Amino acid sequence: MLIALQQSQHDKKQDIHTYSINARNVVDFLKIIFPSYEYTLSELKNQTADLEQYITNFFAGLEKEEYPSKKKPYPVSYSLNDQSGLLLYAICKTVKPDKIIETGVAYGLSSSYILKALDENNKGTLYSIDATFKPWESEQMIGSAIPGNLKKRWKLIFGTSSEKLVPLLKSLGTIDIFFHDSLHTYKNMIFEYEAAWQHIKNGGLLFSDDILGNDAFYDFNVDKKTKSFILSSNTDSSFGVLLKNI
């Protein structure tokens, strides 16, 4: 927690780059990345309606719980916004990945959307890295919102990304998709991007949530000279995607 605080304080001293937004609607965004993408937003929402209802019921069950507590270890604001979840689902349905790594799970909303796509594809595994950082957090609550029927393609690696990411990448060799959603500090984001990039296959994707707090995503994109796509649903949060094409 102290390291995270120190890194966050350092990031606040930076002048943050202003991004040009590619789209504010998830379907428009998908059509930029995949010009032949054909589903409408309503069709996409219909495809994920059962998962959305499950998640709604999960959070309804937490309404009376106090935060922070063992039963409600993460604030609801940690939850992925609806557009990002739909985006993750749609991209995984489109590219049909074999190996995905995500860092940062919390209740597991992003994991759920990815796993739903993998289940419908009938292929692929999601490897998720997360740890407990505060006294009220527990390993049992990591991914607690993930429907049980989707967990067969899910492997949780318990620990921090600084400890677990590089060994996991080495064990997997190449991966199709990497998704950063852990500690959103410049130092940690650059570390994760650099570690993952060399293992992402040509044509693979790097996703990053919350790219507006520092210039890690911008600097990494400039360094790699690759194509970036930015989805923004509000002024506080944006979702970045990099396409590896070398």
Q: Output the domain CATH number for residue 160.
A: 3.40.50.150
Domain total of the chain: 1
6 occurs within a structural domain = no
65 occurs within a structural domain = yes
9 occurs within a structural domain = no
14 occurs within a structural domain = no
Q: Are the beta carbons of 113 and 89 closer than 8 angstroms? A: yes
3 occurs within a structural domain = no
15 occurs within a structural domain = no
The highest-confidence range among 14-18, 120-124, 181-185, 234-238, by mean pLDDT, is 120-124
Which residues, in sequence order, are CB contacts of 245 under 8 Å at separation 6+? 202, 203, 226, 227
Show the domain range for 144.
Answer: 20-243
pTM above 0.95, yes or no: no
157 occurs within a structural domain = yes
Average pLDDT value for residue range 37-61: 94
2 occurs within a structural domain = no
Would you say residue 234 has pLDDT above 70?
Answer: no
Length of the chain: 246
Average pLDDT value for residue range 153-159: 98
Average pLDDT value for residue range 116-129: 98
